């Protein structure tokens, strides 16, 4: 029986994560994972090439051992840094009656890459909003329809700074694997939201180690995305300063006793900590610690609201969905609920083995890969239980609409607290965690067959250097 695997790589600020998965019925079956903590990544980008490379290599080895899959090709997620989201239209002409297939869809989407005129940027993702057959028939999926004259696509486009793209890919491929394709977190977050949330208009807030990423969806499609350079590391630094202890000690205390909502924190939960300039350890309560954490998390959320306002997004009828490593903190949901009128939930992947918010980006990268494969009708999935083949059709019939005007202040139930934490890191910058492939391992053994002769990334790189 033929097997197809997807391997996603998530290069995060605190760790590199990899997931080996397969499409199984309407979801993803996780076969194995790998994770390696590293200091080689900063603000979601390569900071030390050798350290990052070693972490990626170790992570792929762990995932390969855990899954018993030889890994040759991977899908890489890219952060929302120096990223632009916009709309574009492209059309291909036919000179005779033509039954549309995945090759035609790929051709009309790839034509959008050539229309990018922004210097030093590269289009990495295109997602159809609607297809138009023969100028008058709008459809969500044109496969098997007959076109007499043309096929047009109105698509959303995600472009990123070329140097970020090149360096991230170079670091991964230096580990002996090929990057088959890249997917921005802005696109990946689609699978984090429910169909109702995407339709009504929902905001994903991914609070990681160095970055808080924001993506807003409405009418089923990505509207815009941005990033705030403040996240979990800043919370830990505030704790270290408050407790007068080391960063590593502060991180452990945050994970064990941290609470982001002061009103719900316990004044009976007491812990001791060794301080930098004292011989005897000091005692603190969870409530005292929460006062510091709440101030910083509130800062982060207010900056998120500022970004949404700058993007012209004033209504979040579908609510807020919080994910990422820092979403593990107790009280994050309660604090955000205390600040806004909208619905709030914490997203944790449902797949066995990755049921932590920090794996959201990695598992969503696989979801994006499967969606693209299904749209182009690249692969046929054979499930392990030998049931009949099931093929899903990507539903993409949602239409984008302009944002309604309104007061952004309506987000707040009450005015933000005056208390502000000290920005010890001061890390603001101008520029800016649901197919299958074939893999060969770090040892070079083949497993399966590649579904594409040449990856989209290979084509992009050729265009950059030709």
Q: CATH topology for 83-162?
A: Dna Ligase; domain 1 (3.30.1490)
Specify the higher pLDDT residue, 393 or 250.
250
Tell me the whole-structure pTM to 2 decimals.
0.82
- Helix/strand/coil for 388: coil
Confidence bin at 345 (pLDDT 50/70/90): very high
pLDDT in tens, 189-242: 999 999 999 999 999 999 999 999 999 999 999 999 999 999 999 999 999 999
pLDDT in tens, 89-139: 999 999 999 999 999 999 999 999 989 888 899 999 999 999 999 999 999
pLDDT in tens, 257-300: 999 999 999 999 999 999 998 889 999 999 999 999 999 999 99
Give me the phi and psi of 456, to 5 degrees please: -60, -35
Does pLDDT of 181 surpass 80? yes
Q: Which of 246, 247, 248, 254 is nearest to 271 (CA)?
A: 254
Query: Are 297 and 178 within 8 A, CB to CB?
Result: no
Specify the higher pLDDT residue, 441 or 69.
69
For residue 25, the model assigns a pLDDT of 81
Confidence bin at 26 (pLDDT 50/70/90): confident
Least confident of 140-144, 179-183, 406-410: 406-410
Confidence bin at 314 (pLDDT 50/70/90): confident
Distances (CA, A) of 314 to 182, 311, 345, 404: 30, 9, 19, 7
Angle value at C-alpha 285, between 279 and 286, nearest 5 degrees: 125
Domain assignments of the chain as residue spans, ordered by start: 83-162
Give me the phi and psi of 100, to 5 degrees please: -75, 135
DSSP letter for each residue of 321-342: EEESGGGGSBTHHHHHHHHBSS
Give Rg (Cα) of the chain: 23
């Amino acid at each position: 029986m033929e097997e197809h695997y997807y391997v996603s790589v998530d290069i995060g600020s605190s760790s590199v994560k990899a997931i080996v998965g397969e499409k199984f019925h309407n979801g993803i079956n996780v076969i194995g994972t790998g994770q390696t903590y590293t200091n080689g990544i900063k603000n979601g980008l390569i900071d030390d090439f050798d350290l990052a490379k070693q972490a990626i290599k170790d992570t792929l080895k762990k995932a390969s051992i855990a899954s018993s899959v030889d890994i040759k090709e991977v899908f890489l997620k890219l952060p929302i840094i120096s990223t632009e989201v916009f709309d574009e239209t492209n059309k291909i002409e036919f000179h005779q009656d033509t039954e549309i297939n995945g090759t035609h869809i790929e051709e009309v989407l790839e034509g959008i890459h050539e229309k990018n005129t922004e210097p030093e940027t590269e289009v990495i993702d295109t997602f159809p909003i609607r297809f138009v057959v023969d100028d008058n028939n709008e459809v969500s999926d044109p496969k098997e329809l007959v076109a007499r004259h043309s096929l047009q696509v109105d698509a959303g486009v995600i472009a990123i700074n070329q140097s970020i793209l090149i360096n991230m890919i170079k670091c991964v491929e230096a580990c002996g694997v090929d990057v088959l394709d890249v997917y921005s977190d802005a696109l990946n977050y689609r699978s984090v939201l429910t169909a109702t949330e995407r339709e009504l208009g929902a905001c994903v807030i991914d609070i990681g180690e160095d970055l808080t990423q924001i993506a807003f969806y409405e009418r089923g499609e990505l509207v815009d995305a941005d990033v705030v350079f403040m996240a979990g590391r800043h919370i830990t630094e505030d704790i270290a300063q408050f407790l007068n202890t080391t960063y590593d000690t502060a991180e452990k205390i945050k994970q064990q006793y941290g609470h982001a909502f002061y009103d719900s924190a316990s004044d009976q939960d007491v812990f001791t900590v060794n301080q930098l300039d004292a011989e005897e350890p000091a005692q603190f309560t969870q409530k005292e610690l929460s006062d510091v954490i709440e101030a910083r998390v509130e800062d982060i959320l207010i900056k998120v609201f500022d970004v949404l306002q700058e993007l012209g997004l004033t209504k979040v009828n579908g609510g807020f969905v919080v994910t990422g490593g820092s979403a593990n903190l107790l009280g994050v949901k309660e604090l955000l609920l205390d600040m806004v009128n909208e619905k709030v939930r914490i997203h944790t992947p449902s797949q066995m083995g990755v049921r932590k918010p920090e794996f959201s980006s990695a598992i969503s990268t696989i979801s994006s890969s499967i969606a693209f494969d299904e749209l182009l009708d690249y692969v046929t999935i054979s499930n392990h239980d030998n049931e009949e083949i099931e093929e899903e059709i990507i539903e993409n019939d949602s239409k984008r609409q302009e944002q309604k005007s309104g007061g952004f202040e309506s987000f707040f139930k009450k005015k933000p607290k005056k208390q502000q934490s000290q920005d010890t890191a001061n890390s603001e910058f101008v520029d800016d965690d649901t197919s299958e492939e074939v893999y060969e391992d770090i040892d070079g053994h083949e497993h399966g067959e590649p579904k594409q002769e040449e990856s989209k990334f290979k084509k992009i790189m050729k265009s950059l250097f030709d």
